Amino acid sequence: MRVSAVILSFNSARYLAKCVDSLAAELSRSGEPNEIWVVENGSTDGSVAELRRLEAKYPDLVHGIYCERNTGTTVSRNMALRRSSGRYILILDSDVEVPIGTVDHLIGVADADPKRGIVAPRLIYPDGRPQLSTDVFPTLGRKLRRFLSLRSLEAALRPPDPSGGVVAVDYAISAFWLFRRDVLDRVGPLDERIFYSPEDVDYCLRVWQAGYSVVYDPSVHAIHDAQEIGRGAKRPSFTWRHAKGLAYLFAKHRYALGRTRLYRRLGRSVAAAEARPG
């Protein structure tokens, strides 16, 4: 098995087919067997029927895992990771569309250096606007600013330099990750004590702690029609769980207000970390 893709679906009926169809077209180019695991996380909007249709459309490729209730982002993804057998693992949100060539390119990036752990592409909104998909490890201040002013932060992003090569970043959001099997074997599964966010920050921290890096490649992109269910007052239960997860993250990794000691423990240069890409 070449690629095991893990897609998390929660009330994603309007997005899921575009995600799976684009990924199926990309994976079919390799000529090797691949698998797509879609974890249906207790949706109430027709996502179950849509996933059943996609399983019938791609019987040798798409495999559904059906949860009766929402188990969050870690328990659900771990269900699929335990079933996966690919040499490469692809973590995707259901609202991502994968352009042709993106996965193959990122596999090449990962294989070019055995110390590269997670590899992430540039993410853009459907209208072409850039997303702040990589960032420094959050402090309380940075997280509050990101929560309240994400759009202004994204508006200030520098245009990417596709010719500049890959860049090491503190973390990339888990809407699109690619990594080799050895990374999963060494780092382990997602931390299930986090229900919803910041499981991506925690996992990237653990990747760095295991001696790998997290890298961003602006020369390829994916389209992320971000649902952002935990932002604002639309779903206060998710916002509350996000806050609990953040408190847990700070306690687990022993930082909250500043990153200097954290960087020292990781052997990561403060200057290099804060010169993050736009």
- pLDDT number for residue 196: 85
Q: Which residue has the tokens 């949100």?
A: 93
- pLDDT number for residue 233: 44
Residue-wise pLDDT for 54-87, tens only, equals 999 999 999 999 999 999 999 999 999 999 999 9
Q: Extract the runs of DSSP E, i.e. beta strands, from 143-193.
A: 167-168, 171-172, 176-180
Stated pTM of the model: 0.91
Q: Where are the domains of the chain?
A: 3-274
169: left (phi over 0), alpha (psi -120 to 50) or beta: beta
Alpha-carbon span 146 to 143, nearest angstrom: 5
- pLDDT number for residue 148: 73
Residue 135 host element (H or E) = strand 134-135
- The CATH class of the 3-274 domain is alpha beta
Intra-chain end-to-end CA distance of the chain, in Å: 34
Weakly modelled stretches of the chain, pLDDT under 70: 162, 227-236, 271-272, 274-278
Q: Are 205 and 253 in contact (CB under 8 A)?
A: yes
93: left (phi over 0), alpha (psi -120 to 50) or beta: beta
CA atoms within 13 A on the CB side of 276: 20
Angle (CA) 214-219-222 rounded to 5° is 80
- pLDDT number for residue 274: 66
